[in-house]
Amino acid sequence: MNVLICVKRVPLTGGKIVLTEDEQAISTRHLGFTISPHEECGVEEAVRLIEAGGGSSTVLTLGPPEAEEQLRDMMAIGVDRAVHLVTDGGEWDPQATAAAIVDVIRSEGERYDLILFGNESADAGNFQVAIRVAHALGLPCVTGVKGLSVDGGSVRLEQEVAGGRDVYVVPMPAVVTVKEGLNLPRYPSVPGRLRAKRKPLATSTPARPDPRLEMVRLVLPPGSGKQAEVLGHGAEAAPAVVGVLRELGLL
């Protein structure tokens, strides 16, 4: 089978988030880059499916030239090939992003049995691209998936809902958005890293349509960043710790 996993290059945040002066983006002066944890699970799932059943996996991104780094990272995990839709670094809205992805899928002859996405991107969080792609291609789409198994021409999907899981069985080809917890992604091995350098990566430069969704500005929620409160030292800190545990409902 052929599996496509779509990912997005996003800043690897860990500390206090700082915005650029125009409030249009996160300042990445001190930051590395990654993909969202949902997407990491999608990549791991794609690799496992191919390892188990044969076929080929492809990772796709729409992003700046530097996003090649994320494509190589994913190929280091075991994805076979990559498609890079190179942008000038500006953010594309979900409609434009979905259209560009659809163009690729069509141009490749709609050969994918499974098209995976993260449930949402780590930065913009529009929750739209996968659904728009499914709609354009006329494919079934299940979102928020935390369990996935392929059985012949169909795929069984478990969607997390309050109080339990909804289970769907849909025919392939299908579009699926996955969530963190679907699996435990592996670390790349050194040989994997080195192989990734030589794996095929196709690039193209789609034209950016006029955006229909425009971001006005970013605003930091209050209280973001690392927050640590020293509760005390030694035994005298114990009552405060108990208080916190109570507050969290753990006692």
Partner 1 sequence: MAATAESSQQLPASQRVVIIGAGIVGNSLAYHLTRLGQTEITLLDKGPLPNPGGSTGHASNFIFPVDHSKEMTFLTLESMRQYKELGVFTRSGGIEIARTEERLQEFTRRMASAQSWGIEPVSLLTPDEVKGLVPFIDETLILGGFYTPGAGVVDSLRAATIMRERAAEAGLTVSANTEVLGIDVAGGSVQRVRTTRGEIDAERVVICCGAWSPRLARMAGATIPLTPMVHQMIDIGPVPRFANAKGMIEHPIVRDMDTNMYERQEGTGLEIGSYAHRPITLDPDDIPSIEEAALTPTELPFTQKDFDPQMEIALELMPEIVGDESVGVKYAINGVLSVTLDGMPLIGESAQVRGLWSAAAIWIKEGPGAGKTVAELMVRGESEIDVFESNVARAYPCQRTAAHIKARASEGFNKMYGIVHPAEQWESDRGVRRSPFYERERALGAFCFEAVGWERPQWYESNAHLLEEYGDRVTRREAEWESRWWSPIINAEHLAMRDRAAMVDLTAFAVFDITGPGALDAVQRVAMRQMDVTIGRVVYTPILTPGGGFKADLTIMRLDDDVFRVVTGGAYGMSDLKWFADRLPDDGSAQLHDQTSSWCTLGLWGPRARDILGSVTHDDISHEGFPFARCRTIEVGALSVLASRISYVGDLGWELYVPIEQGARLWDIIAEAGAPYGVLPAGIGVYGTTGRLEKCYRAYGMELEGDFNVVEAGMAWGRVKDEHFIGKEAHVRHREEEPAATMCTLTVDDHTSSSGVKRYMLGNEPVLTRAGAPITDRKGRRSYVTSAGAGPSIGKHILMSYLPPEHAVLGEQLAVEYMGERYPVTVEVVGSTPIFDPENTRVRA
Beta strands in 40-163 (DSSP E): 56-63, 81-86, 114-118, 141-151, 154-161
**Residue number with CB closer to partner 1 (216 or 228):** 228
Which of 24, 197, 209, 215 is the binder for partner 1 (CB under 8 A)? Answer: 197
**Residue number with CB closer to partner 1 (23 or 166):** 23
**Is position 189 an interface residue for partner 1 (rule: CB under 8 A)?**
yes
Which of 156, 186, 199, 208 is the binder for partner 1 (CB under 8 A)? Answer: 186
**Angstrom distances, CA of residue 133 to CA of 73, 84, 188:** 24, 17, 29
CA separation for the pair 205, 196 (Å, rounded): 22
**Is position 239 an interface residue for partner 1 (rule: CB under 8 A)?**
no
* Site pattern 61..100 for partner 1 (x: CB under 8 A): --------x--xx---------------------------
Which of 42, 94, 118, 188 is the binder for partner 1 (CB under 8 A)? Answer: 188
Which of 89, 225, 239, 243 is the binder for partner 1 (CB under 8 A)? Answer: 225
**Diameter of the chain measured on Cα atoms:** 68
When computed from its CA atoms, the radius of gyration of the chain, rounded to whole angstroms, is 20
In angstroms, the first-to-last Cα distance of the chain is 49
Which of 88, 109, 187, 219 is the binder for partner 1 (CB under 8 A)? Answer: 187
Count Cβ atoms below 10 Å from residue 223 Cβ, excluding itself: 6
78 Ramachandran zone, left/alpha/beta (phi>0; psi -120 to 50):
left
**Residue number with CB closer to partner 1 (78 or 173):** 78
Can the peptide bond before residue 94 be classed as cis, meaning omega within 30 degrees of 0? Answer: no
**Angstrom distances, CA of residue 56 to CA of 46, 51, 96, 112, 172:** 9, 9, 26, 9, 15
**Is position 106 an interface residue for partner 1 (rule: CB under 8 A)?**
no
Q: Which helix (H) or strand (E) holds 5?
A: strand 2-7
Beta strands in 64-140 (DSSP E): 81-86, 114-118
**Residue number with CB closer to partner 1 (190 or 216):** 190
Residues between 19 and 38 with contacts to partner 1, criterion CB under 8 A: 29-33
Which of 109, 191, 234, 249 is the binder for partner 1 (CB under 8 A)? Answer: 191
* DSSP code for 14: -
* Least gap, CB of 29 to partner 1 (angstroms): 8
* Least gap, CB of 77 to partner 1 (angstroms): 10
* Least gap, CB of 221 to partner 1 (angstroms): 15
**Residue number with CB closer to partner 1 (184 or 251):** 184
In the complex, the residues that contact partner 1 under the rule CB under 8 A are: 12-16, 18, 29-33, 69, 72-73, 186-194, 197, 225-226, 228, 230
